[in-house]
Structure 1
Amino acid sequence: MEKQYRIKKNKDFQFVYKKGKSVANRQFVVYTKPNKTLTHFRLGISVSKKIGNAVVRNRIKRGVRETFKVHKDDIIATEIIVIARQPAKDMSALQIQASLEHVLKIAKVFNKRIR
């Protein structure tokens, strides 16, 4: 993901946690906060060390990033933070994508109907 699509600073994460809304399923928690100043979404990903070693955590993050690349044009201008939960460590990339799409539909961040 390009730099403009990332949330990296702790201050930005804390702002979205405090002011945003959260939606969850068994594998992911998604915090969203509408952003009127930007024309695109920004994404922050959090995967705890409790979930697994670096290989497992990076595989989950790659799956999350890939999902957002696929839907890059379908997501409204929003600050989004994705937190992975324990069951996500056993999922394949396609399962991660399906689970995230489910949570994002509930969070209403898509600007048009997604299958």
Structure 2
Amino acid sequence: MSRDFGRDRRLLTPSQFKAVFDSPSAKLPGRNVLLLARRNDLQQSRLGLVIGKKSVKLSVERNRIKRQIRETFRLQQTGLVGWDVVIIARKGLADMDNLELARQFNKFWKRLSRDRSANPED
């Protein structure tokens, strides 16, 4: 399996986001962030990010956070096959440094990959 993060690895359309928002299989709250995940019928996982100005004021910070989340996802995606994931940022996320962000999201990916109740095929 490839570890790239191309267009096919992202949620792109409003209908793809809406499907995850309407019926998430897993809901993982974290410090200043919420992860929603839903099973898909694909042989890969897809990621969508919702990081608004109200949550993270500066565009530099929003972009830094997105880069960190994408990188952790890219490295862990082999264990997340078959999930559509949406990350929703909340206030205070910009206060976390890169190491804290990486730790938090690595924990999310590990929890999601072993979530047996939301992953009936394993």
- TM-score, normalized by length of structure 1? 0.85
Q: Partner of 1:103 in structure 2?
A: 108
Structure 2: stretches of 5+ with no match in the other structure: 116-122
Taking a change above 3 Å as real, the CA distance of residues 65 and 110 of structure 1, as seen in their structure-2 partners, is farther
Q: Partner of 1:13 in structure 2?
A: 17
| 1:25-72 Cα deviation digits (max 9, x unpaired) | 112211100112x10100001101012121111111011001111212
Q: Displacement of 1:90 after TM fit?
A: 1.3
- TM-score, normalized by length of structure 2? 0.80
**Count, aligned residues:** 109
Work out which of the residue numbers 14, 32, 37 in structure 1 matches 2:37. Answer: 32
Structure 1: stretches of 5+ with no match in the other structure: none
Work out which of the residue numbers 3, 6, 11 in structure 1 matches 2:7. Answer: 3
Q: Alignment identity in percent?
A: 27
Task: Give the partner amino acid of 2:50.
Answer: S
The 4+ residue runs of structure 1 with deviation greater than 3 A are none
Whole-Å separation in 1 of the counterparts to 2:30 and 2:60: 23
Q: Displacement of 1:110 after TM fit?
A: 4.9
Q: Partner of 2:27 in structure 1?
A: 22
